[in-house]
Amino acid sequence: MTHWQPSASIEHLKKRADLLMKLRRFFIEREVWEVETPLLSHATVPDPFIESLTIASDKKRYLQTSPEFAMKRLLAAGSGSIFQITKAFRKEESGRQHNPEFTMLEWYRVGFDHHQLMQEMDALLQYMLHCLPAKKTSYQQLFLDHLNIDPLTATIGALSQCAKAHAISIESTLEKDDWLNLLMTHCIEPKLGANEPLFIYDYPASQSALAKLSQQDPRVAERFEVYYKGVELANGFHELRDAKEQRARFEKDNQLRQDKQLDQVPLDEFFLQALAHGLPDCAGVALGVDRLVMLALGVEDIKQVLSFDFSRA
Residue 166 confidence (pLDDT): 92
Mean pLDDT of the chain: 94
Question: What kind of fold does domain 10-134+241-312 have according to CATH?
Answer: BirA Bifunctional Protein; domain 2 (3.30.930)
Residue 1 confidence (pLDDT): 62
pTM attached to this predicted model: 0.93
Residue 174 has pLDDT above 90, yes or no: no
Mean pLDDT confidence for 231-260: 94
Residue 239 has pLDDT above 70, yes or no: yes
Residue 306 confidence (pLDDT): 97
* Tens digit of each residue's pLDDT (9 = 90 or more) over 49-91: 888 888 866 788 999 999 999 999 999 999 999 999 999 999 8
Amino acid at 189: E
* Tens digit of each residue's pLDDT (9 = 90 or more) over 103-140: 999 999 999 999 999 999 999 999 999 999 999 999 99
* Tens digit of each residue's pLDDT (9 = 90 or more) over 192-218: 999 999 999 999 999 988 999 999 999
Residue 297 confidence (pLDDT): 97
Cα gap 175→203, rounded to integer Å:
16
Three-class SS of the chain: CCCCCCCCCHHHHHHHHHHHHHHHHHHHHCCCEECCCCCEECCCCCCCCCCCEEECCCCCEEECCCCHHHHHHHHHCCCCCEEEEEEEECCCCCCCCCCCEEEEEEEEEECCCHHHHHHHHHHHHHHHHCCCCCEEEEHHHHHHHHHCCCCCCCCHHHHHHHHHHCCCCCCCCCCHHHHHHHHHHHHHHHHCCCCCCEEEEEEEHHHCCCECECCCCCCEEEEEEEEECCEEEEEEEEECCCHHHHHHHHHHHHHHHHHCCCCCCCCCHHHHHHHHHHCCCEEEEEEEHHHHHHHHHCCCCHHHHCCCCHHHC
Residue 170 has pLDDT above 90, yes or no: no
Residue 270 — very low, low, confident or very high, per pLDDT cuts 50/70/90?
very high
Mean pLDDT confidence for 17-29: 98
Higher-scoring residue by pLDDT: 59, 294: 294
- Alpha carbon 200 to its chain's center: 13
